[in-house]
Amino acid sequence: MRLNHIRDFMAVVETGSIRAAARSLALTQPALTKSLRQLETELGAVLLTRGVRGARPTEIGRAFLARARAVTVELQRAREEVDQLRGGRTGRLAVGSAPGPALGLLPEALPRLRQRWRDAVISVHDVSPSEVLPALREGRLDFALSVPLGPLEAPGPACLVEPLYRNAARVVARKGHPLAGATSLAELAGAEWVRTGGTDNTSMLPAAFRAAGIEPPRYRIECRSFFALAEIVAQSDMLAVVPWQLAAREAAGGRVVELAVSDALPARQISLFRRADVPLTPIARECAEILRALAARAA
């Protein structure tokens, strides 16, 4: 299997047709068709269905596409790593983060990193626990900062987990909320809540309610956007559990208040997750070192 076979297959999937892919690759359609046929022959499977509406990957083709993208990303990382080891300061870094470290660590870590890597492209992505492992496996992230919930509770030997620090959570409500003065979970038994972070990120609050002998909370809205979450809480009577950094920022704006029931909510472990079979590039290693130092201070 040649790299141009993988490149050609990905181009067809991305453009949606052999004609468009050939044009983007500066190839003739017969040459591209021959390349695809050679790839399918070697794999012993049909990767694409061809029709009047273009070319679409088959079920096997979609599975192969995920591997092909991962291979392409790793080759690009390999080129960048060689350049970095030779003293270059270019390349790419992709970090996934939960809201706590996104607000508490990265704003200080990234400017430090940029002092030595001014020509690098750095991207930060919001990720929920369920998104971390697929993103690492497919090469979309170099590493992620997250809480060990859902699939990250036991990620398996393919993932290395490095605990960094524990991050506290807060219950927030709009300013003037009837329950704004609550000091115990029992007082919140009848409240309605916004579920944050998806279904894999909701174990802490129900567990705290059960420990207090209270019926589990009622979720009326699921919100994966922490920007939207602040507005939903500020303009309704629903409550939410958020990292303390987000609670402090929104409370400073005067529209949201923190409820004095934080002792009932255990702090969550923030860990660094990365693939076990792929070493970090120099820029990723340096970023991780900066984050470890900041996390030690935060702890």
Whole-model pTM: value is 0.75
- Judge whether 89-167+269-298 and 169-266 match in fold: yes
Contact 164, 268 (CB under 8 A): no
Tell me which CATH homologous superfamily contains domain 169-266.
Periplasmic binding protein-like II (3.40.190.10)
Per-residue pLDDT of the chain (299 residues; tens, 9 = 90+): 788 888 888 899 989 888 898 898 898 989 988 999 998 899 899 999 887 778 899 999 899 888 888 888 888 878 878 887 887 788 889 999 998 899 999 999 999 999 989 989 999 998 888 899 999 988 899 999 999 888 888 899 999 999 999 998 899 999 999 999 999 888 988 889 988 765 444 567 788 888 888 888 888 788 878 778 889 999 999 999 888 888 999 999 888 999 998 667 878 899 999 999 888 999 999 999 999 999 998 77
- CATH domain 3-71 topology: Arc Repressor Mutant, subunit A (1.10.10)
Kind of pairing between the strands at 256-259 and 121-126: unpaired
- CATH domain 89-167+269-298 topology: D-Maltodextrin-Binding Protein; domain 2 (3.40.190)
Contact 197, 241 (CB under 8 A): no
**Total count of residues recorded for the chain:** 299
Residue 150: name the closest of 61, 268, 62 by CA: 268
Residue 45: name the closest of 29, 64, 19, 69 by CA: 64
For residue 149, give the 3-state DSSP assignment: coil
Supply the pLDDT for residue 198. Answer: 54
Contact 145, 271 (CB under 8 A): yes
Domain boundaries, the chain: 3-71, 89-167+269-298, 169-266
